[in-house]
Structure 1
Amino acid sequence: MDQHHQPRRAGISRRRFLAGASAAAGAAALGGAFPCPALAQAKAINVLTLGEGIFGQPFVDLAPDFTAATGIKVNPITMGYNEAIQKQAAAFAAKSSAYDVVQIDSIYIKGYAKAGHLQALDSLIPKAELADYFSDIPMTFKDMYESEGQTYGLATIGNCQRFVYNEAHLKAVGLGAPQTWDELLAAAQKVVDPAANRFGFVAGTERLAKAFSVWLPIFWANGGALFDDKLHPVFADETGIDALAFLLALVKTMPTGGAAYTEADETKAMATGLGTLNPVAWIPDAILTADAATKPQLASGVSPKGSAVRAPVMGGLGLTVSKYAADAAAAAQYVAWFNSRDVQTARIVPHGGQPCRNSAWTANASAKPWFPAVAESLKVAKVRPQLPEWGEIDNTVGVQLSRAFAGEISPKDALESAQRSVDGIMRDAGYY
């Protein structure tokens, strides 16, 4: 699996998150029981991360550097995304000390924290280091890894949707890069020329991978909300229906078969000059793999603006310390080291990663042609609800969206059906 992109999520039930939560919540606070990270004397720590791509390679490559700097040996435990979340969920439920540092998808952080499975980092990492870190990241990252005023992880690798487009195609019809969703639809419709094998919108609309996250930035950009303050789903409103109708108009400008595009199809369409506008790209592979004629035509930007905001979808997996770690101080030192200015600025990018610090993005702006766009996108990106059930919700809504893409069902019927299903998921999970 290509780990560049925000991976497909497996469903994790709320009950699995909460397994053992009562005992964990009743345990004494551990913050004062450990020395500050600079004094950690662990022989070794076990670190669970992905093994490759932007979310894994830096941790594999830089483990010896961390050991050289701190004297703490690292036992890397690497695996694919779905296996990793299954392993971490099982370890937390069993209160296992198998992992000291755990790389967790940001959408699961609050669930794990509330269930008592993560160490708060505020008393494990020196205040000056945390203050420096928080002053140098998009505020969204702080919110993502915080629960009830405590910090339970650090972002480490930054990623979100970005806008990839073909400048030559737009110039051929007298247009520049669209700045709003309305401009993007107009451009997508104007640029279509089957005789020239040139089409408009491109996205991975396959239901199990990306359908929800294709609709979501349009919905959010126009002021939409997925849930009310009691966690009842409310997205089948006028804003949601209008956003889906708008997306269906975009889908009509896609190449043949676009309504069922996978991420591989999406990438290939942009890389070969078939498509013009991909405002929901997770990965840079279209630019990396583009043919000689197309590569110089491709550029990157920030997701278009709606009636309210720009709202690319935030991704990312951050580093956390397990509540059951054998040496929480050593584990926290590992987390702090990978999020430090020096490592973020000078070491993450050369080893295949993307930084989370603003200063590191600035320092590495010329490293990749898409970096400036990702850095700006991170500043306005929005986070999906951090619910254990999100994987199930994502897939359930995706089923209905894909039916709408294929013309089997109206936008209103698709979203109302999806909302009923999500309401059932939330009720079964015990939210209300």
Structure 2
Amino acid sequence: MYKTKRTVFIFLILLISLIVLTACNKASSSSGDEETSKEDTKEASTEPVELTIAARAGSMADALTEVVKQYEEETGNKVNVNAMPYDNLKETVVLDVRNNSGAFDLVMIDDPWMPEFAEGELLTNLDSYFPDGLASDFVQKSAALGKVPYETGSTYAVPFIGNVQMFFYRNDLVEKYDIDAPQTWDDVLAFAETIKDEEQETFGYALRGQRGNPIVSNYLPLFWAYGGTVLDENMKPQVNTEAGVKAMEMYMKLKETGPKGVETFDSDQIATSLTQGQVAMTIAWPSWVSEVDNKENSNVVGKVNFSAVPSQESDAAAMIGNWLLGIPRTSQNTDAAAAFLEWVTSAETQKEMTILGAGAPTRVSVYEDPELVEQYRHFPAQLEALQNSVARPRTSKWSQVEDTWGMYLSQILAGQLDIQEGLDKANEELEGILAK
């Protein structure tokens, strides 16, 4: 009996040992599989990635195409810059994301598009890639454009090209008439009237009067300078207020000092008037500086200076017009795209892009770089303009607002409508657009 019990006891000990040994082998095998899996993932993550960027055709895309060559060498990744005209870019990107095609890993975004992109949930939230927010070196007015809600929310896009309106004026004529450079719109008008009266071949001020975006963009700095607000806190239009009337009265007075036909003027006509010495002052974009200083085509090389746009009853307020870079939510290479986004918006890369002709950084340190300031004399004024800029209203209906408002502004400028009547009609139509 004792022998039988002893045999059973030994059998149980052997059985338990076998079970423990089997369990240990399984645990060891599982741990090995996990390590192998992690190693496979690590190897997979270091494999070259191909990124595709939807970009605005022109100097910006050209500069981007050049700098990505360095990134490709550093990382082994491939970067394709798909440049397309402005009119096609937005539609192409929106359709791609809504159809879940995933053709693009990064997209250039004109900042007024951000509300529409946000409402449509077209972009990847970048907070996890920039947990402490964007670097303080970014111009804060630029960084605010890529946040949803504007200025206060999460980051969905990073400022890439820092376009902003500047005030161009003939410094040789300022010196000739022994006056200070204009600081207010009253100063601008007084100088413009002097030029019209005293200079036979030069007009005082040139407007962009073409309906839609041109006239709205040109008029907004005056509207803001007189204290105007396009939309109030309840998203109700306020374009027919006292500020709107005063701004339009000044606009009409400036028209009288300018060349004939400004009702149809857009950028090309303004650039021609300025570079040929036909006008003393205008509002323009940074890209026009190269035209003014082009010795082959310009009659005013070295005669034009730049500043932030004038103030009036409120501080100076230029219209900011940055290009942003975001990652579509349909990208299959989000991590790699975020790494590239951080690289391409770094101070070093922005400096290189500036030298290559992109011309409008979004970092303060790049504007203050001594080498660049020596080469680009307008940089101090451009930085000041950016830091005192105002964004267009953050509504997905801005294109409709701009078209309608611009139509009435153009009719007022052409003398087809009284100022108050035209602004009242504009405000009424804008109410209907925004109420839909």
| TM-score normalised by L of structure 2 | 0.84
1:186 CA displacement:
1.1
Quick check: 2:276–2:298 contact (8 Å CA) kept in 1?
A: no
Counterparts in 2 of 1:75 and 1:281: CA distance versus 1, 3 Å: closer
Task: Pick from 380, 385, 390 the counterpart of residue 398 of structure 2.
Answer: 390
SS at match of 2:205: coil
SS at match of 2:80: strand
Give percent identity, aligned residues only: 24
Quick check: 1:110–1:146 contact (8 Å CA) kept in 2?
A: no
**Separation in structure 1 between the aligned mates of residue 277 and residue 46 of structure 2, nearest angstrom:** 53
Quick check: 1:40–1:333 contact (8 Å CA) kept in 2?
A: no
Quick check: 1:280–1:312 contact (8 Å CA) kept in 2?
A: no
Counterparts in 2 of 1:271 and 1:418: CA distance versus 1, 3 Å: same
SS at match of 1:284: helix
Greater RCO (Cα-Cα under 8 Å, separation 6 or more)? 1
Match for residue 367 of structure 1?
Answer: 375
Match for residue 218 of structure 2?
Answer: 214
Task: Pick from 318, 324, 337 the counterpart of residue 343 of structure 2.
Answer: 337
The structure with the largest alpha-carbon Rg is 2
**Separation in structure 2 between the aligned mates of residue 153 and residue 209 of structure 1, nearest angstrom:** 23
SS at match of 2:373: coil
Task: Pick from 122, 125, 128 the counterpart of residue 127 of structure 2.
Answer: 122
Match for residue 356 of structure 1?
Answer: 362
SS at match of 2:211: coil
1:367 CA displacement:
2.1
Match for residue 262 of structure 1?
Answer: 266
**Separation in structure 2 between the aligned mates of residue 405 and residue 49 of structure 1, nearest angstrom:** 35
Quick check: 1:170–1:191 contact (8 Å CA) kept in 2?
A: no
**Separation in structure 1 between the aligned mates of residue 246 and residue 89 of structure 2, nearest angstrom:** 37
Match for residue 317 of structure 1?
Answer: 323
Moved more, 275-284 or 69-78: 275-284
Quick check: 1:224–1:235 contact (8 Å CA) kept in 2?
A: yes
**Separation in structure 1 between the aligned mates of residue 284 and residue 422 of structure 2, nearest angstrom:** 21
Match for residue 167 of structure 1?
Answer: 171
1:262 CA displacement:
2.1
Instruction: Describe the superposition over 1:327-386 as per-residue Cα deviations: whole angstroms up to 9, x where unpaired.
Output: 1001111111111122123x1112211211000111122222322211211111110013
| TM-score normalised by L of structure 1 | 0.84
Q: If each structure's helix is expressed as a fraction of its own residues, which one has the higher value? A: 2
Structure 2 counterpart of 1:73, one-letter code: K
**Separation in structure 1 between the aligned mates of residue 385 and residue 175 of structure 2, nearest angstrom:** 24
1:40 CA displacement:
6.5
Instruction: Describe the superposition over 1:251-273 as per-residue Cα deviations: whole angstroms up to 9, x where unpaired.
Output: 11001222322211111111111
**Separation in structure 2 between the aligned mates of residue 272 and residue 85 of structure 1, nearest angstrom:** 34
**Separation in structure 1 between the aligned mates of residue 48 and residue 400 of structure 2, nearest angstrom:** 39
**Paired residue total:** 386
Quick check: 2:57–2:86 contact (8 Å CA) kept in 1?
A: no
Counterparts in 2 of 1:281 and 1:193: CA distance versus 1, 3 Å: farther
Q: Which runs of 4+ in 1 moved over 3 A?
A: 39-42, 279-283, 288-293
Unpaired runs of 5+ residues, structure 1, are 1-34
**Within the alignment, does 1:192 sit opposite 2:196 as a pair?**
yes
Counterparts in 2 of 1:212 and 1:324: CA distance versus 1, 3 Å: same
**Within the alignment, does 1:113 sit opposite 2:118 as a pair?**
yes
Counterparts in 2 of 1:391 and 1:288: CA distance versus 1, 3 Å: farther
SS at match of 1:230: coil
Match for residue 77 of structure 1?
Answer: 82
